[in-house]
Structure 1
Amino acid sequence: MTNPLLSPSALPYGLPPFSHLAPSDYAEAVSAGLAEHLAEIQAIVDNPAAATFGNTAVAMEGAGQLLQRAAAAFFTLVSADASEDIRALETELSPRLSAHQDEVYLNRALFDRFAAIDTSGLDPEAVRLVEEYLKEFRQSGIQLDEPGQDRLKGINAELSALGTEFGQRVKEGMKSAALLLDSAAELAGLPADDIASAAEAARTAGHDGKYLLTLIQPSNQPAMAALENRDVRRRLFEASTGRGSGGGSTDVLDLVTAMARLRAEKAVLLGFANYAELVVDRQTAPDFEAVQAMVNRLAPAAVRNADAEAAALAEIAGHPLEAWDWAFYSAKVRREKYAVDEQALRPYFELDRVLRDGVFFAATAIYGVTFHERDDLAGYHPDVRVWEVRNPDGTGLGLFLGDYYTRESKRGGAWMNSVVDQSALLGTRPVVINNLNISKPPEGEPTLLTLDELRTTFHEFGHALHGLFSNVTYPRFSGTAVPRDFVEYPSQVNEMWILWPDVLANYARHHATGEPLAQDVVDRLNEARLWGEGFATTEYLGAALLDLAWHVLDGADVPDDVVAFEAKSLAAAGVAHALIPPRYRTGYFQHIFAGDGYAAGYYSYIWSEVLDAETVDWFTEHGGLNRSNGELFRRELLSRGNSRDPLESFRILRGREARLDPLLKRRGLE
């Protein structure tokens, strides 16, 4: 049979025919795509006509479609449903793809054609396209001599292989660190549906009759807020925070030090003092000093707030507090001081209703788009659901895929990825996916969300809207292809609708009785909003500052003792809190070591939140959930991708530069 990936998909919107694909199809299609892309580039280089925007930049944007199609489908599986064959193929293909990237952007003849394009008379998006290509050539090392380029290629290949290995070990480590318990009594305090999910997880893992607490990616595990058995909380905490650093096949510390040395060397080779400065050169932040100034300004206030919270927790606990006690007694404070019981809220947040009557309802109310489940279309796993998204006039906008449940073949965390990018040049419309890691209940039981899972569902859908609403000409600028320290901004804005009265009243209903969440409970949730912000900001800044600490190192300064370096770095940054581990410790900091997507860029969440807090104020000042606001936000920001300076899009929306005050107020850091 012909490999389906070798030609454009005939399915609606170009959805890949996942159910008809085997690992060998991905391997064949990626290999063919690599060869085809190089041939297309060679044709651009060999064109005897003088370089023009059309025969060089537009031709480049039209090249590589087979490779893009195959790689997008393949890496969807790598993250969300990786079999042993897919993992082996990832190990093989990742270095080849890295080498291919070097072959493209270290091609002197291709660079010379871009440098020769006359941009006078071009529209702003076309001018930006040429500028962004030239910038990527320079950041990729086009200015280096041949020995320098050869060394850079070697570094990139090594980093690709190490990042792939890190991600695979972390996935295995999260699986092997899951806490297996013998009896339901040890789970006292957990809701009945969580206990049932733990029993189902154990059964699936071959431990029928026992209970398995699977882990999520961050340090703090949701069950610690409810488990009454202090020793079980300790064991769960230690299992979580010890990942990746305890020796054995899932230890990643050797990979970390190797990657830190290589990144430091790469930065110097490209003319930067360190890897953090290299990364920030690609972002909206003006420079690395501005990033440092911001996080260092926030850290002392966050730790002060955390210390005040710790004192309150110790008082209610009646004994010295340990890190594994924090979530448990914090939940108790919410219940006793604010009369908010997060576990008692879960029956009001049933997944299907949250999606239909919350997430989709808000999008329809503000943007006019509608969602139509397509049972005739299949994803890459039976749990994946597919919706067609339509514009207010009924025309098709794109496809949204939701994959909400955890499984052994899926990496931890939550994310959005694009399978098909919108582009007017190519005539493509978007296909985007949201992935979460919610424990799957037994067959027939409802999926009830925690507040954190509720927030994540809205957050990731904000990324999806950014991809779905893309309206650019060139695929390079599509959707979420914006600087890393801007990409979290639209997703954070979408969280504002969680407690917006019209939205909350529509989805927050008891799954069994249909009873709405009482207004006095909503009022108490709002009153309790700042409780826990000291903890949340400190654990986040711990991870962000740890990330920067790894990436300001000179290659010679990279430590052999990773655990000691981590402790020293957190202390030096002022966020070494005995009761609050960083949101991600080095041993499972997948954002920055499984590839380089967030390396030296984890600060971007708080950087983006400055824009987010300003935009929430803007929405509120202009009436909130109305179509007028939605049309403006969609037109001037969500649809623009990277087709113009993203900060210019923000300034057009807000009417001025961003200010820090709304963020400080939101997090109680004034």
Structure 2
Amino acid sequence: MCKVYFMTNPLLSRSPLPYGLPPFAGIHASHYAEAVDAGLAKHLEEIQAIVDNSEPASFTNTAVAMERSGRLLERATASFFTLVSADASDAIRDLETELSPRLSAHEDDIFLNRALFDRFAAIDTTNCDAESARLVEEYLKEFRQSGIHLEVAGQEQLKAVNAELSRLGTEFGQRVKEAMKSAALLLDSEDELTGLPADDVASAAEAARVAGHDGKFLLTLIQPTNQPAMAALENREVRRRLFEASVSRGSDSGDLDVLALARSMARLRAEKAALLGFANYAELEADRQTAPDFEAVQTMLGRLAPAAVRNADAEAAALAEIAGHPLETWDWAFYSAKVRREKYAVDEQALRPYFELDRVLRDGIFHAATSLYGITFHERGDLAGYHPDVRVWEVRNEDGSGLGLFLGDYYTRETKRGGAWMNCLVEQSGLLGTKAVVINNLNISKPPAGEPTLLTLDELRAAFHEFGHALHGLLSSVTYPRFSGTSVPRDFVEYPSQVNEMWILWPEVLANYARHYATGEQLPQDVVDKLNKSRLWGEGFATTEYLGAALLDLAWHVLEPGNVPEDALEFEAKALAAAGIAHPLIPPRYRTGYFQHIFAGAGYAAGYYSYIWSEVLDAETVDWFTENGGMTRANGERFRQELLSRGNSRDPLESFRILRGRDARLEPLLKRRGLE
């Protein structure tokens, strides 16, 4: 029997706010546990009603009923996991530890339900439209990938594996977040920060003050290996300390060590793959993606790795020449920036005053979206997010009709995990009558009050990239919530976000936002020309660093259950060497001890390759825009209608083929990265 709750919990009913924005001001940590409890029970009741229906299985009484089910649970978990990532208190972290295995078990209860599967298998889709027929196909595929074919003993074993993977992934993510915070480098003197821009020094002083070290300077870390400050710090010893703080996260044998967790997860994933009839976990994940098979992924990465390392070696030689001494890993970013300044006359630190956050948003990111798609952005000061730093914009179509809400949460804080990401609070669905509410999160150091927020090139790129994900959610126009927005295969999801990066240096967009925050002066054209000329410098490093992480991911996920190594760091080194991507000066973008994408439930396990797989499509699409006149409303409308709006309502690669007129080729990517 369902528990009865007093209706004081805002999550127990649909939000009265515009577009269903959760009323965060009235939601307390205890409300999440209560709402998830009620949501789990309600969802199981709804599933049982589908199974118990005495009428023969039909599309409406089974597939549509399934899509309508679970709304309370979805509402509660969407809000809850937003806080887990972006503003996690101790109470939220404790609740995550409790709820994650229960939610995993709940998924198993649904997709290992033989009676429910039988009803889906009995649906006649002969007279269904294409999206509806695909809905049934996708559900049947998920049942099979979830183990519906297993006998009872196998299903019980699979449930136990899934529950333990959920628990370990939660613990990994929480430790990594704490490790990133505890590894921040505390410095006593401003002299140690020589070379760092004044606003970054001020941010370091503010970070130290907030952490209780008034008068000192705290260099906080970002999630990847390479830390932005290493490009500017003149003190080589400080660079070394910052680098070592970064790469030792999660692997120092302390309370925050995660290597044992990673080994356990690799073993359990191997067991899961074997249970489901796959040679390894990478083969299982490939079955869920747009890549035809795992061999195709290996072939592409194997083709790219040698060329990337050759380019990196050439860059290393140039760096050694300008340094005048043997290079260490912590020297690379510093001397790479020096090469940009001396060879290409590009000083990335000097560009930052031209990339002020508000202007980048208003006159860059939003301006590009308006030019392409006709949508407009209207800040809603009357609507609040889950933290005072969160800003809310209403997004409207060209005709003035409402499209959804966009939330921006740009500053780093101790309660936020590292990196940058997009997530949905409400997904668009014609069936449910909902429009999208999406969030972008970045981790920019917050300046002191009254000071401008000036972005690095990497932060600028991240802002445009994540907004590409936001557009994928906002411009969704599908019937069923299962297909909405970014609910596409993992190796396709990065494609629209990478396309959105093309507008960063597009002349009419750049001219509109790249203005000096103090003088209003436009970024000089000769500087733009130099940026374009220097485009390939650093691609050897960037591609090698990325491929190192992608190939390390796959190495962990081709293991057999009894072949998981005892020494994770030794395994890491051997795996990189075997893949031909071990470079003495370029560690992977993520090492095992902080590879959150693949070990903390982010969904990239055996799929970190997806960034470059998607970039093949992205490079082709940049060529398509260029060949067809660039940033025009006609091109934007076609990209919106044939790709962004479709979500997973049809095969995503079919959407690409309709847009491009053919299958993708690798050559545009090779040219972009200098890998011909």
Confirm or deny a common fold (TM above 0.5).
Answer: yes
Residue 247 of structure 1: how far off its partner (Å): 1.1
Summarize the alignment of residues 95-110 of structure 1 with structure 2, pairs less than 5 Å apart. Answer: 95-110=101-116
Q: Is residue 500 of structure 2 the alignment partner of residue 494 of structure 1?
A: yes
Shift of 1:308: 0.1
Question: In 2, Cα distance between the equivalents of 1:182 and 1:610?
Answer: 46
**Which amino acid is 1:150 matched to?**
E
User: 2 CA distance for matches of 1:665 and 1:581?
Assistant: 24
Q: Residue in 2 aligned with 1:350?
A: 356
Residue 4 of structure 2 corresponds to none
Residue 488 of structure 2 corresponds to residue 482 of structure 1: yes
- How does 1:31-70 map onto structure 2 within 5 Å? 31-70=37-76
Aligned pair 1:454/2:483, yes or no? no
| Counterpart in the other structure of 1:127 | 133
Of 665, 670, 676, which aligns to 1:664?
Answer: 670
TM-score, normalized by length of structure 2?
A: 0.99
Paired residues, what number?
670
Amino acid at match of 1:450: T
- Secondary structure in structure 1 of the residue aligned to 2:646: coil
SS in 2 for 1:388: strand
After TM superposition, give the deviation of residue 435 of structure 1 in Å. Answer: 0.2
Establish whether residue 169 from structure 1 lines up as the match of residue 180 from structure 2.
no
- Residue type matched to 2:223 in 1? Q
Counterpart AA for 2:108: D
Q: Distance in 1 between matches of 2:637 and 2:78?
A: 30
The CA distance in 2 between the partners of 1:619 and 1:280, in whole Å, is 30
Alignment of 1:427-576 (within 5 A): 427-576=433-582
Q: Shift of residue 596 of structure 1?
A: 5.4
Answer yes or no: is 1:577 the counterpart of 2:583: yes
Q: Structure 1 CA distance, aligned partners of 2:28 and 2:282?
A: 39
Partner of 1:3: 9
In structure 2, distance between residues paired with 1:549 and 1:304: 22
Name the amino acid aligned to 2:406: F
- Aligned partners of 2:25, 2:493: CA distance in 1, in Å? 31
Give the CA deviation at 1:610. 0.2
Distance 2:229 2:580 in 1: 28
Amino acid at match of 2:401: T
Distance 1:257 1:537 in 2: 26
* Cα shift readout 1:430-480 (whole Å, capped 9, x = no counterpart): 000000000000000000000000000000000000000000000000000
- Find the partner of 1:78 among 77, 84, 95: 84
Which letter does structure 2 place at the counterpart of 1:154? A
On the 8 A contact 2:596/2:602 being kept in 1, the answer is no
Match of 1:409 in 2: 415
Aligned counterparts of 2:462 and 2:629: Cα–Cα separation in 1? 25
**CA–CA distance in structure 1, aligned partners of residues 253 and 204 of structure 2:** 27
Letter in 2 for 1:240: S
1:600 aligns with 2:606: yes
**Residue type of the alignment partner of 1:410:** K
Matched, 1:275 2:246: no
Give the aligned CA root-mean-square deviation in angstroms. Answer: 0.4
Shift of 1:595: 1.3
SS at match of 1:513: coil
Whole-angstrom CA distance in 2 between matches of 1:65 and 1:95: 20
Following superposition, the deviation at residue 248 of structure 1 comes to 1.0
Q: Which residue in the other structure is 1:377 paired with?
A: 383
Which residue of structure 2 aligns with residue 223 of structure 1?
229
Write the letter of the residue equivalent to 1:237.
F
Alignment partner, residue 240 of structure 1? 246
Amino acid at match of 1:494: N
Q: Deviations over 1:525-580 (max 9, x none)?
A: 00000000000000000000000000000011100100000000000001110100
Q: Residue by residue, what CA displacement relative to the aligned partner does 1:478-516 show, whole Å, maximum 9, x if unpaired?
A: 000000000000000000000000000000000000000
Q: What is the deviation of 1:146?
A: 0.2
Match of 1:304 in 2: 310
Q: How far, CA to CA, are the matches of 2:583 and 2:664 in structure 1?
A: 31
For 1:179 and 1:340, the matched residues in 2 are separated by 28
* Counterparts of 1:654 and 1:120, CA distance in 2: 30
Q: Give the deviation of 1:249 after TM superposition.
A: 1.0
In structure 2, what is the Cα distance between the partners aligned to 1:623 and 1:364? 17
Q: TM-score, normalised by structure 1?
A: 1.00
In the other structure, the counterpart of 1:182 is 188
The 3-state SS of whatever aligns with 2:326 is: coil
Q: Distance in 1 between matches of 2:564 and 2:602?
A: 18
Could you say what secondary structure the match of 1:639 adopts?
helix
Residues 605-641 of structure 1, C-alpha deviations (whole Å, 9 max, x = no match): 0000000000000001111111000000000000000
2:616 corresponds to which of 607, 610, 617? 610
Letter in 2 for 1:617: D
The structure 2 residue matched to 1:636, chosen from 642, 654, 668, is: 642
> Partners in 2 of 1:416 and 1:141 — Cα distance?
30
Residue type matched to 1:445 in 2? E
* Equivalences for residues 288-299 of structure 1 within 5 A: 288-299=294-305
Offset at residue 185 of structure 1 (A): 0.3
Partner SS, residue 643 of structure 2:
helix
Specify the alignment match of 1:363 in structure 2. 369
Match for residue 23 of structure 1 among 16, 21, 29 = 29
Aligned partner letter, 1:491: S
Task: Give unmatched runs, 5+ long, in structure 2.
Answer: 1-6
One-letter identity of the residue aligned with 2:654: E
Which residue number in structure 1 is paired with residue 3 of structure 2?
none
**Which residue identity does 2:522 align to in structure 1?**
P
1:159 maps to what in 2? 165
Instruction: Give the AA of the match of 2:461.
Output: R
Q: What whole-Å deviation, never above 9, does each CA across 1:33-79 have from its counterpart, x for those lacking one?
A: 00000000000000000000000000000000000000000000000
Judge conservation of contact 2:186–2:219 (CA < 8 Å) in 1: yes
